[in-house]
Amino acid sequence: MSALLEVTSISVSFDGFKAINNLSFEIGGQELRAIIGPNGAGKTTFMDIVTGKTRPDEGRVRFGEPQLDLLRLSESQIARAGVGRKFQRPTVFEAQSVRDNLTMALSNDRLPFAVLGYKANKEDGARVAALADEIGLSEELDRTAGELSHGQKQWLEIGMLLAQDPQLLLVDEPAAGMTLGEREHTTDLLRRAAETRAVVVVEHDMEFVRRLDCKVTVLHEGSVLAEGSLDHVTANSDVIDVYLGR
Amino acid sequence: MERSLFARQPSVLIFIALLAVFTIVMVILSEGFGLGLVSTSTIKILGKTLCLCLVAIAMDLVWGYCGILSLGHFAFFGLGGYMIGMWLMYERTKDIVIASLAGGELPPTSEEVREAIGSQIFGVVGGSDIPAIWYFADSLYAQLALVVLVPGLLALVFGWLAFRSRVTGVYLSILTQAMTLALSLYLFQNDSGLRGNNGLSGLQNIPGLTEVPQSVVSVWFFLASALALGLGYVVAAWVVSGKFGNVIRAIRDDEARIRFMGYPVEAYKLVVFTLTAVIAAIAGALYYPQAGIINPAEIAPIASIYLAVWVAIGGRGRLYGAVIGAATVSLLSSWFTGGQVPSIPLGFYTVNWVDWWQVLLGLGFVLVTLFAPKGIGGLFDRLVRKDAAS
């Protein structure tokens, strides 16, 4: 099976600081992957590159079947090609209802004139209802997103990503600021999502990563330090050095 | 599933009803068609105010809903006025020229007529040739098309360049100010082909309708302005009430997020910018025949800033807020600057309202910003919510 996302020896530097240094990374079609690493390891920059926010100085980023060169596409084109991204801070559209947030995210035509002529229909209504059920917000559909709790906003954002129906989902610190119960729900959501698509989770919290129970990639100073199961990488002496200091 | 536009935007029905009642009452009271209690000049002021409300709706769409603080939309308004003004002035001059040449032994050739029109219109800027941009000036339909096309294309090209380079926020505002300033300075030049600082005048006289008194013409334009405002309101309500409206509000609130959802933000901005430029141009094309004159000072940068002030005072992000703001401020402005308000002699100083109105407006803006950040329209919302709560 060929990889869904193939990142080959990318490098990027900001004002001389090498944020990503000759990084290569692959992920398959239905896989859950956690990326861990200390601050400044390049986790967020890696996501920025895949989603088109930052252009690498060198390297290749290939995605999908047939393969697309993501470096040639704009952010919105990459998103339409099937890459969804969840930011660290929950970013939902607070002034709008949960239903409107989800409806906007549904994988329909996104060009202005098509959207201008959009009419709400039963199918989309049912999809929104199913998604709301999945993320546990059925009761909140008509509430303004700004009134939701922090955890609910995170789920809404994950729901919006699922609505986009991406082949690859990039999730930045989903568990930040969540209660224990909320974390369990989030873990379930992500693992279910990974049954039909690739999910990459960037996370600081080792406990959360352990619960995800998936292959782990450790980044350090912009390149891959170790890869494997959590137990495998935490036994790696380089990883111990990086995390605990020499 | 799909609720009608009126169910989603209840303010549309209320607005249309109020506008209709107001229009009918004014026509009944007018000199041209009714009791004569409202003077022709008042009807003109009201008609112009309706046009200003329409351009305020355009401003609210682009700023209040889409978050693009354009400080150049009055340029499109003015261009719309210039485009219709060219036909009005050309045809009217042509009628006068033909009438005055009719006394000769031979009927004038079209060459002679054109020459006479040229020196009539452009004598004031030291020319007599009709510039190329006046090529279509003898065709009402062509000039009406240009009312939409010229500002629309300008907005399309300007917007494409600006949005493509991801110019946002205050930088975009400055860029739009530069655009309207550049246009105004260009039009001030005598060889701009639009009579420099003289502008176009006599626009209140409608060619072919010289027999119709101004009291009647003013009511026609008043009605046309009311119709345009009503239509503009419905179109704007339709645009903001559906999914498109949700997307442009999302662009206003978090541009990066909606971009990562796959929406081509730049294309949306371009659509909204161009659409509102066209609405502004149509408003301008109705305004200037009622004002009678247009000159480059009309599209000075300050005019576009006023437009933003109206919308801010009225309450942005609400269509009726824009209308309330534009109507209140422009009517108050013409009341204060019209010389009807007596000056207040304080002995050592006389408060002259023509000057002090500006101070009052500035204070009003500060007060609204401080105490009613959602504008007058926001106060309405508060009342409605109190009703619903009790």
Kindly state whether A120 is in contact with chain B, defined as any CB-CB distance less than 8 angstroms: yes
Contact between A104 and B2 using a beta-carbon 8 Å cutoff: no
Strands (E), B220-335: 293-294
Calculate the alpha carbon distances from A217 to A33, A209, A221, A227, A237 in Å.
Answer: 7, 11, 13, 4, 15
Q: Is the pLDDT of residue B2 over 70?
A: no
Residue B100's pLDDT band, with cuts at 50, 70 and 90, is confident
Contact between B244 and A85 using a beta-carbon 8 Å cutoff: no
Residues of B in contact with A113 (CB under 8 A): 271
Contact between A96 and B246 using a beta-carbon 8 Å cutoff: yes
Tell whether A227 is covered by a domain: yes
Best probe of the A interface among B260, B266, B272, B374, by most A CBs < 10 A, is B260
Residues of A in contact with B247 (CB under 8 A): 104, 115
Output the pLDDT for position B382: 76
Whole-number percent of chain B with pLDDT over 90: 64
Residue B1's pLDDT band, with cuts at 50, 70 and 90, is very low
Q: Residues B146, B151, B152, B157: is their CA dihedral positive or negative?
A: positive
Residues of A in contact with B249 (CB under 8 A): 93, 95-96
Contact in structure between B225 and B286 (CB atoms under 8 Å): yes
Rounded Cα distance between B314 and B181, Å, is 26
Strands A83-86 and A68-69: unpaired
Q: List all residues of chain B from 231 to 250 with a beta carbon under 8 Å from chain A.
A: 239, 242-244, 246-247, 249-250
Split into its structural domains, chain A has a count of 1
Question: Of B247, B260, B267, which has the smallest distance from its Cβ to A75's Cβ?
Answer: B260
User: Once rounded to an integer, what is the mean pLDDT over residues B113-128?
Assistant: 88
Residue B383's pLDDT band, with cuts at 50, 70 and 90, is confident
The Cα of A33 is separated from the nearest Cα of chain B by a number of Å equal to 21
Contact between A79 and B244 using a beta-carbon 8 Å cutoff: no
Tell whether A39 is covered by a domain: yes
Domain of A191 in residue numbering reads as 5-92+166-244
DSSP B92-137: HHHHHHHHHHTTSSSPPPHHHHHHHHHHHHHGGGT--SPPGGGTTT
Kindly state whether B338 is in contact with chain A, defined as any CB-CB distance less than 8 angstroms: no
Kindly state whether A123 is in contact with chain B, defined as any CB-CB distance less than 8 angstroms: no
Question: Of A94, A104, A111, which has the smallest distance from its Cβ to B261's Cβ?
Answer: A104
Contact between A113 and B271 using a beta-carbon 8 Å cutoff: yes
Q: A226 forms bridges with which residues in the sheet?
A: A218
Output the pLDDT for position B203: 94
Kindly state whether B166 is in contact with chain A, defined as any CB-CB distance less than 8 angstroms: no
Rounded Cα distance between B205 and A165, Å, is 61
Contact between B264 and A118 using a beta-carbon 8 Å cutoff: no
Q: Is the pLDDT of residue B27 over 80?
A: yes
Q: List all residues of chain A from 218 to 237 with a beta carbon under 8 Å from chain B.
A: none
User: Once rounded to an integer, what is the mean pLDDT over residues B310-320?
Assistant: 91
Contact between A110 and B239 using a beta-carbon 8 Å cutoff: no
Contact between A103 and B243 using a beta-carbon 8 Å cutoff: yes
The Cα of B292 is separated from the nearest Cα of chain A by a number of Å equal to 37
Rounded Cα distance between A9 and A224, Å, is 11
Task: Please tell me which residue of chain A has the smallest CA distance to B250.
Answer: A93
Split into its structural domains, chain B has a count of 1
Tell whether B355 is covered by a domain: no
Contact between A79 and B264 using a beta-carbon 8 Å cutoff: no
Domain of B252 in residue numbering reads as 5-300
Element holding A60 (H helix, E strand)? strand A58-63
User: Once rounded to an integer, what is the mean pLDDT over residues B32-46?
Assistant: 88
User: Once rounded to an integer, what is the mean pLDDT over residues A156-169?
Assistant: 91
Residues of B in contact with A94 (CB under 8 A): 253
CATH number at residue A42: 3.40.50.300
pTM score over 0.80:
yes
- What are the tens digits of pLDDT across the range A92-113? 999 999 999 999 999 888 999 9
Cα B345 to chain centroid distance, Å, stands at 36
Contact between A118 and B243 using a beta-carbon 8 Å cutoff: yes
Contact between A121 and B250 using a beta-carbon 8 Å cutoff: no
Q: Residues B115, B121, B122, B124: is their CA dihedral positive or negative?
A: positive
Residue B344's pLDDT band, with cuts at 50, 70 and 90, is confident
Residues of B in contact with A96 (CB under 8 A): 246, 249-250
Q: Which residues of B327-338 are buried (b: 16+ CB within 10 A; e: fewer)?
A: bbbbeebbebee
Contact between B246 and A111 using a beta-carbon 8 Å cutoff: no
Kindly state whether B267 is in contact with chain A, defined as any CB-CB distance less than 8 angstroms: yes
Tell whether A30 is covered by a domain: yes
More confident residue, B246 or B341: B246
Rounded Cα distance between A204 and A89, Å, is 14
Contact between B262 and A80 using a beta-carbon 8 Å cutoff: yes
- What are the tens digits of pLDDT across the range B345-377? 888 888 888 888 888 888 988 888 888 888 888
Task: Please tell me which residue of chain B has the smallest CA distance to A82.
Answer: B262
Tell whether A126 is covered by a domain: no
The Cα of A93 is separated from the nearest Cα of chain B by a number of Å equal to 6
